[in-house]
Structure 1
Amino acid sequence: MTAQQHPLALSTGTDYERLAERFRPIFARIAEGAVERERSRGLPYEPLKWLTEAGFGAVRVPLEYGGAGASLPQLVQLLIELAEADSNVPQALRGHFAFVEDRLNAHAEARQDKWFRRFVAGELVGNAWTEVGAVKIGEVGTRVSRRGDQWVVNGHKYYSTGSIFADWIDVYAQRDDDGRDVIAAVSTHQSGVRQSDDWDGFGQRTTGSGSSVFDDAVVAEENIIDFSSRFKYQTALYQLVLIAVLAGSGRGALRDFASEVRQRTRIYSHGNAPRVSQDAQIQQVIGKAAALVYAAEATALRAAVPAQRAYETRFGGDERAEHDANVAAELESAKAQVVIAELILRATSDLFNALGASATSEARQLDRHWRNARTAASHNPLIYKERIVGDWEINGTEPPYVWQIGSGPSAA
């Protein structure tokens, strides 16, 4: 069925405050357990259940299909609020919102009712794209093959963010029969899918970003999707989630350090006031960090605007407008990534100047804000994004829309 044969219901935005009020009590509950989860490496199964039961995973689904009809800037704002509560949780949902966005774009060509219903019912989608081992750039070791009357997936992936919590996994693979790159939407509710919480990074420890192994995992033929049809601003979308994580990490750090200063009774003999909260230099530290976080959040919201435009132009029938919107989405998310990483890493480090050595206490876990921000900022290396933006500004060279990692050529 073509776009002209069914009415198009788009997600162009809703009343943000009304939408956010639905989730803010859940965000508060999530924040209450964040320090203990960080300390014990407790995966956020329960917080994600609270969110999905409230419809968080369907906020981008059009109203006509039971979702909230939120725009991408509104999704980014929600993710920032969620990241303030616990920055691991929105990153665990990164793959989910990317797959939702893909199905939203696919709706321009064929109805996506079945997937929309799944999202509204609270089903989550994880991510499994990155190969492990000595796979070269451009090669795909994970295969989709025909076995009798079924299609099956075999392979080993790492950085499977959020997949351990998910009902489905968005798997990047290659067909055995014709060699085409595909996305296989694989159900996790089968013995052919094995997942491990073996991510060993010093930050974002509870995002479920470990290994996924597929051993004759069955996939429905209708859920084998040509990668060539993937929505074009996908890399920008993935980056938008990360910059929301960064901005929210900054908000969480500001909240926690301001609270610590407010309650602190011990002072230094060479300080400037009888209470730390009245010390002008300490107030300056908090105020400067607040300004850095403000700038980061404002930049994140601005960077989401061209991605929303790319989504809407997908349905407009103007190829040039769609192309230009996709270019803008990629470039603006890259520029935002560069500046937000610098702002938040500075804020989450400088805030320690407002407290004494007790701020480094393991019990307080104040360092989690910097660790989580540093980890999120290490995705999709900043130096390459800076070069790509520079190449565009100087030479008008279009940015790449697909990023890969793997082994380079041998020394020989």
Structure 2
Amino acid sequence: MSQRDLVPALSAGADYEQLAARFRPIFERIAQGAVERERTRELPREAIGWLKAAGFGAIRVTVSHGGAGASLPQLFELLTELAAADSNLPQALRGHFAFVEDRLNAPAGPQQDLWFRRFVAGETVGNAWTEVGNVTIGEVITRVRPHEGRWLLSGHKYYSTGSIFADWIDVFARRDDTGGNVIAAVRAHQPGVHLQDDWDGFGQRTTGSGTTVFEDAVVEAENVIDFATRFKYQTAFYQLVHLATLAGIARAAERDAATQVAARRRIYSTGNAPLVRQDPQIQQVVGQISAQAYAATAVTQRVAQAAQAAYEAHFAGDEALEKRANIAAEIESAQGQLVVSELALRASSDLFNALGASSASAALALDRHWRNARTVSSHNPLVYKARIVGDWAINGTEPPYVWQIGASPAAPATA
């Protein structure tokens, strides 16, 4: 039996238009409520429910297990379309798709089959990795300990994106017995899990990125997973969700600019045409926004191709090939971040150059595009990503695949 015979069926792609047709009516419904949710800070529970019921969370699951078998470029194109409808939704599902990706990379067997069945049934996974407060960088206070054949999890997490909507939570923790780092997949709906919607950012306000407290939350033994086995292109994957979100924001800016300009009846005496939509300078502004959205989408797709190559290389039986593919995915995601962040920020700001002062009305909530783009772009600091890319280009220094944030050991102790 050859190595090829041992490789499982992979999620290498589906008919994109047929796949997208399943979800575009849902995206349209989501878009219709986006402004009101923004104005009232209403969490998109109903919208997440529509996506779950339609099988959106299983699009990467292999066809043989009941999923759509979508490739990563197809996943991120769908997330870009979803972000154009409401940019909070892809980020709320970021932890879910990362956990799905990890299970896709896991060894075949009963546990993988079980998770695939859960995804196909509509169950989703949230995220709880980051600890805040006086936690030294590299330190993990959230702990799991064995107890009567199961494990108990205790700790505090913030930036728990999507967990408030999820059935499970992907928790980064440390074992009490060995000190090893693990992922604990925890059922969200149990007495030991307490979720709060206390994210106070000025953008991406309805992603459910608040605090989660675990107090002896029960974890089944098979759901305590060695972190060392986590899929290697995970950081690139997480960043790709942000790239798709930013590309979607740029598309939304293009859509809203064109719609608002086409509908305008008032003109400036200093303008160039009897109607704003005929004004060549305004057409130029909207054309620039369109080009920014196009470029953001194209870069995101190029990065997604690199991630797909890393996924497929995992099953090729060639360690050197897999390492090269993982490096490429990481470097390209960083390069993409540097470019797409600027494109989305420019598009969401240029939007106002095409419109009058009335575009600042809170009722339109057009400012949400810039606020959301600025918030997403603040993840994974751009300056550090630029340095990592530069170090690779100059010195061939391998990029880091996992990074952390925490209190500096050199900082003065707080009272």
Hey, what does 1:372 align to over in structure 2? 372
SS in 2 for 1:127: strand
Hey, what does 1:192 align to over in structure 2? 192
SS in 2 for 1:325: helix
Structure 2 length-normalised TM: 0.97
Cα offset, 1:147, TM superposition: 2.8
SS in 1 for 2:194: strand
Please give the alpha-carbon distance, in whole angstroms, between the structure 2 residues aligned to 1:223 and 1:269: 67
Hey, what does 1:216 align to over in structure 2? 216
Asked if the contact 2:128–2:157 (Cα under 8 Å) also holds between the matched residues in 1, the reply is: yes
In the TM superposition, 1:383-394 aligns within 5 A as 383-394=383-394
Cα offset, 1:107, TM superposition: 3.2
Asked if the contact 1:309–1:325 (Cα under 8 Å) also holds between the matched residues in 2, the reply is: yes
Q: Do residues 294 (structure 1) and 294 (structure 2) align?
A: yes
Letter in 2 for 1:377: S
Hey, what does 2:284 align to over in structure 1? 284
Cα offset, 1:93, TM superposition: 0.3
In the TM superposition, 1:156-195 aligns within 5 A as 156-195=156-195
Hey, what does 2:347 align to over in structure 1? 347
**Structure 1 pair 4/298, CA: closer, same or farther in 2 (3 Å)?**
closer
- Which runs of 5 or more structure 2 residues have no equivalent in the other structure? none
In the TM superposition, 1:352-367 aligns within 5 A as 352-367=352-367
Please give the alpha-carbon distance, in whole angstroms, between the structure 1 residues aligned to 2:281 and 2:384: 37
Hey, what does 2:8 align to over in structure 1? 8
Please give the alpha-carbon distance, in whole angstroms, between the structure 1 residues aligned to 2:275 and 2:318: 62
In the TM superposition, 1:125-144 aligns within 5 A as 125-144=125-144
Letter in 2 for 1:63: V
Cα offset, 1:7, TM superposition: 6.5
Superposition RMSD on alpha carbons, in Å? Answer: 1.4
Q: Do residues 228 (structure 1) and 228 (structure 2) align?
A: yes
Asked if the contact 2:149–2:221 (Cα under 8 Å) also holds between the matched residues in 1, the reply is: no
Hey, what does 1:96 align to over in structure 2? 96
Cα offset, 1:146, TM superposition: 2.0
**Structure 1 pair 4/258, CA: closer, same or farther in 2 (3 Å)?**
closer
- % same residue: 69
SS in 2 for 1:89: helix
How many correspondences in the alignment? 410
Cα offset, 1:351, TM superposition: 1.4
Letter in 1 for 2:381: P
SS in 2 for 1:131: coil
SS in 1 for 2:351: helix
SS in 1 for 2:154: strand
Cα offset, 1:129, TM superposition: 0.2
Give deviations 1:210-260, integer Å, cap 9, x for gaps.
000000000000000000000000000000000000000010111112111
Structure 1 length-normalised TM: 0.98
In the TM superposition, 1:66-105 aligns within 5 A as 66-105=66-105
Please give the alpha-carbon distance, in whole angstroms, between the structure 1 residues aligned to 2:352 and 2:224: 49
Please give the alpha-carbon distance, in whole angstroms, between the structure 2 residues aligned to 1:285 and 1:153: 53
Asked if the contact 1:108–1:315 (Cα under 8 Å) also holds between the matched residues in 2, the reply is: no
Please give the alpha-carbon distance, in whole angstroms, between the structure 2 residues aligned to 1:149 and 1:27: 44
SS in 2 for 1:244: helix
Hey, what does 1:258 align to over in structure 2? 258
Please give the alpha-carbon distance, in whole angstroms, between the structure 2 residues aligned to 1:206 and 1:219: 28
SS in 2 for 1:130: coil
Letter in 2 for 1:338: L
Give deviations 1:112-164, integer Å, cap 9, x for gaps.
10000000000000000000111111100000012334310000000000000
Kindly report structure 1 stretches of 4+ aligned residues shifted beyond 6 Å. 3-7
Cα offset, 1:350, TM superposition: 1.1
Asked if the contact 1:293–1:347 (Cα under 8 Å) also holds between the matched residues in 2, the reply is: yes
Hey, what does 1:397 align to over in structure 2? 397
Letter in 2 for 1:8: P
Letter in 2 for 1:381: P
**Structure 1 pair 199/27, CA: closer, same or farther in 2 (3 Å)?**
same
Give deviations 1:326-376, integer Å, cap 9, x for gaps.
000000001001000011101110110111111111000000011111101
**Structure 1 pair 5/273, CA: closer, same or farther in 2 (3 Å)?**
closer
- Which runs of 5 or more structure 1 residues have no equivalent in the other structure? none
Letter in 1 for 2:369: H
**Structure 1 pair 345/161, CA: closer, same or farther in 2 (3 Å)?**
same
Asked if the contact 1:99–1:170 (Cα under 8 Å) also holds between the matched residues in 2, the reply is: yes
Please give the alpha-carbon distance, in whole angstroms, between the structure 2 residues aligned to 1:108 and 1:381: 36
Please give the alpha-carbon distance, in whole angstroms, between the structure 2 residues aligned to 1:301 and 1:255: 20
Please give the alpha-carbon distance, in whole angstroms, between the structure 2 residues aligned to 1:108 and 1:94: 23
**Structure 1 pair 154/411, CA: closer, same or farther in 2 (3 Å)?**
closer
Please give the alpha-carbon distance, in whole angstroms, between the structure 2 residues aligned to 1:343 and 1:313: 31
Please give the alpha-carbon distance, in whole angstroms, between the structure 1 residues aligned to 2:99 and 2:411: 38
**Structure 1 pair 52/381, CA: closer, same or farther in 2 (3 Å)?**
same
Letter in 2 for 1:94: R
Asked if the contact 2:169–2:187 (Cα under 8 Å) also holds between the matched residues in 1, the reply is: yes
SS in 2 for 1:112: helix
Asked if the contact 1:87–1:249 (Cα under 8 Å) also holds between the matched residues in 2, the reply is: yes
In the TM superposition, 1:144-159 aligns within 5 A as 144-159=144-159
Please give the alpha-carbon distance, in whole angstroms, between the structure 2 residues aligned to 1:295 and 1:87: 18
Hey, what does 1:20 align to over in structure 2? 20
Asked if the contact 1:348–1:370 (Cα under 8 Å) also holds between the matched residues in 2, the reply is: yes
Please give the alpha-carbon distance, in whole angstroms, between the structure 1 residues aligned to 2:306 and 2:257: 34
Give deviations 1:269-319, integer Å, cap 9, x for gaps.
111111111111111100011011101100000011111111111111000
Cα offset, 1:9, TM superposition: 1.8
Please give the alpha-carbon distance, in whole angstroms, between the structure 2 residues aligned to 1:4 and 1:303: 26
